[in-house]
Amino acid sequence: MQTADIHRRWLTYFGDRGHTVVPSASLVSDDPSLLFTVAGMVPFVPYLTGLVPPPFPRATSVQKCIRTLDIEEVGKTPRHGTFFQMNGNFSFGDYFKEGAISYAWELLTSSEADGGFGFQEKDLWVTVYKDDDEAIALWKKIAGLPDERIQRLDMDTNYWSTGQPGPAGPCSEIFFDRGPAYGADGGPATDDDRYVEIWNLVFMQYLRGEGQGKSFDILGELPKKNIDTGMGLERVAFIKQGVENMYEIDQVRPVLDHAAEISGRRYGAVHEDDVRMRVIADHVRSSLMLMSDGVTPSNEGGGYILRRLMRRTVRAMRLLGVDAPSFAELFPASRDAMKAAYPEVGTDFDRIQRLALAEEETFLRTLASGTQILDLAVLKTQESGAKELPADTTFLLHDTFGFPIDLTLEIAEEAGLTIDRPAFDALMLQQRTMAKADARAKKGSIADLSVFGEFRALGETVFTGYEYLQTESTILGLIVDGNSVSAAVTGQIAEVILAETSLYAESGGQEADAGTIVGNGFELEVLDVQKPVKGLISHRVQVTSGEVSVGAEATTLVDQDWRRGATQAHSATHLIHAALRQVLGNEAHQAGSYNKAGYMRLDFSWNSALSAATRSEIEEIANLKVRENLEVDTRIMNLDEAKSLGAMALFGEKYGETVRVVEIGGPWSLELCAGTHVARSSEIGLINVVSETSVGSTARRIESLVGLEAFRDLAAERAIVSELTSNLKTPRENLPDRIAELVANLKAAEKRIAQFEAAALSERVPSIAANARSVGSVTLVSENVGSVASSDELRSLVQSVRERLGAVPVVVALAADVAGKPAVIVATNQAARDGGAKAGALAKIAAGVLGGGGGGKDDIAQGGGSDLGAIGAALDAITAAVSA
């Protein structure tokens, strides 16, 4: 049974039984606490927890998921994958335990001819929460399972909650017995490799209180009990296809086979190679699916996870003996295996492949440069006699260069060294702790989402801002410090929930509106407007006067200048995006945007800098569209209808069944967008592209000023040009040549000055060398030479003096004032080093006296500090060290 057939049978079975078939949500989660959709129930959490009223009583889906917590187990077990698909059926206060168990048993055990999965009843076991007698009775009644195939397990495996106060309840898991060849008898409680969990039924029936781990109070039963189930599609697939693990199913195996072919290794011959091929197959598929949902490789967030998956793939290919690029073969194999279930990976493959190849090329260069750094670190460690690479070196390689720690370990072991893994892990933990603290700080301004449940239950916030800048409304709720309150007074910061609002909430790259909320006896300054949960708008305000209370009438007032600037900027973003695609082609796809009054920023998929001519062409096309005074048409329509018209759905955006389409100049610019826009393109005024920069190996960023801000910037440039033409007495059109001439003259003058200074220094060499004296067994020069322009000049002087003194044991230590700071450079010749004089050690001694640091090689080294008055003492310290 092919994976796509399992997918189809699932949706057909539950769709025929009154479940609304819900398409898979994006892998990029709406939940601000999650990077990715990590389970099939994630898109339904607002309905399951009661935060948002469910739009249907029962639903079913096959949800794409990404989970990387067990990434180190990928390839080692039959069931761990970073990308997986979760079949789910959900009930929101509709059917409960009996219905869930009945559906599960019927679908599993019905014949394939009847649309079921055709499992034999004798091969299925179930586990239940140890105190859930009701579930045990139902399994006996519905499935006729004997006691020995129903096992009671503890809370850690068979009880579900979010870990916070809220819904909770027992669960029941269904396992398939693979037979005695895979492990000991005795059921799921004894051997997890023989008994494969294929389906988990969660019975949300209780309200839990505060507590940690297993210790929390049950406050009572939920007024509406919910069902959340999840069947692992890949697990069922490998069982039904008669293969050993999820990496060998029809959607994954082709990549594994390509990895074997490229490497010349045979799958099934060597265990370590098998694990590497499975890692490659899993990670290529995961990367393909992430990029199809708009994730691009980067150093933060979801992009970092994607980059890690792709680099682990390169690493695994390297361990298979393949140093050359391989993504050009691996990704098409995954595309062909997945496009039947997810057609978008085929239609968008050119962009995906370009991202993949660019990332692979970048990492192969990283490996080359990182290997050089690591080789140098290994050499220094060996020369010092140590047996362990410093943790700061391994962390630098990992954090800055993206060099995998296991590759560092391998190279170190080949050199007879170890790495300080505990210290490395401590540095990684410190970094993660800082990142989590930063994330908490960024989220601190928004109240805990659970507090919004009572307000969302009253209905969706009506946004009137497309038509009106002023709207009369009623205050439904106030939140202060995360708690619902009845009133807020002057000086307090609060979140305000209104029935209607004309204030735009930040979304789609557009910053929230500025404005005020006023009512009888109070005025509120709007600091931010957000959508904390789907369908609800929250206004973060400061009470500037009076007292505001729940139930009061209020009027939202949008700052007209701000909104005008924001609409100009957002419409300009659409024009720049369309101009980019006209000039560069459809591969230049928007990958993120930000706009506010007077400013727009657009990130787009591209891996090379734009020439000045290309940048100017894009800017001119956009401004010509402004001049054409094109109508900006907005329409509300069904999502499928919008896509059939060619409207672009931008990555990172979430769309419902009904969408808003913004059209500028017909099909030239046609996008799904909920932002605010001008009525005609001429209202944008002026678009001034001010920069085009890199934001990663596969993305560029273009920034523009818009409207009045664009005019002001050009006026400022005009003033600068006017001043230059006046001061240089040169017409504007000749300024570039005149400035180039002045720069060339300046460089020539600087070169001549440097030559004079070098000659002057050379003339000092004989007199400095003449001051040499015997100290112990060496000839020592120790002198303060005054002020020099740079440390390089001082170094050249030291080396010249050393050469002049010949082959006798020589130590030269010269100090100087370099740009107001003391510097000392020490040089030794081979005869002095043979006698034990080391330049690095001597420079370190001098630097300590100067109040700084220093060191270097045995033949030449440098030190510095902050105390110019200590130069004499520093040179005396060197003399004392040489004579010791």
Residues annotated in the binding site, as ranges?
Answer: 570, 574, 673, 677
The three-state DSSP-derived secondary structure of 54-86 is: CCCCEEEEEEEEECCCCHHHCCCCCCCCCEEEE
Q: How far, in Å, CA of 430 to CA of 433, rounded?
A: 5
For residue 554, give the amino acid letter.
A
CA 177 and chain centroid, separation: 39
Contact indicator for 811, 879 with CB cutoff of 8 Å: no
| 38 SS3 class | coil
Q: Give bridge partners of residue 418 from the DSSP assignment.
A: 388
Q: Which of 460, 466, 456 is nearest to 660 (CA)?
A: 466
For residue 60, give the amino acid letter.
T
Where are the strands (E) in 345-435, listed by range?
A: 388-389, 418-419
Residues in the chain: 884
Q: How far, in Å, CA of 281 to CA of 559, rounded?
A: 54
Buried b (16+ CB within 10 A) or exposed e, 420-449: beeebeebeeeeeeeeeeeeeeeeeebbeb
Q: In the structure encoding, which two tokens stand for residue 603, read together?
A: 């990130």
Contact indicator for 576, 704 with CB cutoff of 8 Å: yes
Q: What angle do CA 675, 349, 320 make, to 5 degrees?
A: 130
Q: How far, in Å, CA of 347 to CA of 343, rounded?
A: 7
Q: How far, in Å, CA of 410 to CA of 406, rounded?
A: 6
The helix or strand, by DSSP H or E, that contains position 371, with its residue range, turns out to be: helix 349-384
Binding residues for Zn(2+): 570, 574, 673, 677
| 511 SS3 class | coil
Angle between the N-to-C axes of helices 391-401 and 421-443, in degrees from 0 to 180, rounded to the nearest 10: 50
Contact indicator for 580, 702 with CB cutoff of 8 Å: yes
Contact indicator for 531, 507 with CB cutoff of 8 Å: yes
Where are the strands (E) in 724-834, listed by range?
A: 773-775, 778-788, 810-818, 821-828
Q: What angle do CA 296, 531, 495 make, to 5 degrees?
A: 135
Q: How far, in Å, CA of 553 to CA of 475, rounded?
A: 6
Q: Which of 356, 341, 313, 312 is nearest to 250 (CA)?
A: 341
Contact indicator for 249, 6 with CB cutoff of 8 Å: no
Q: How far, in Å, CA of 516 to CA of 523, rounded?
A: 7
Phi, psi values for residue 466, rounded to 5°: -65, -35
Q: Which of 161, 148, 177, 149 is nearest to 49 (CA)?
A: 161
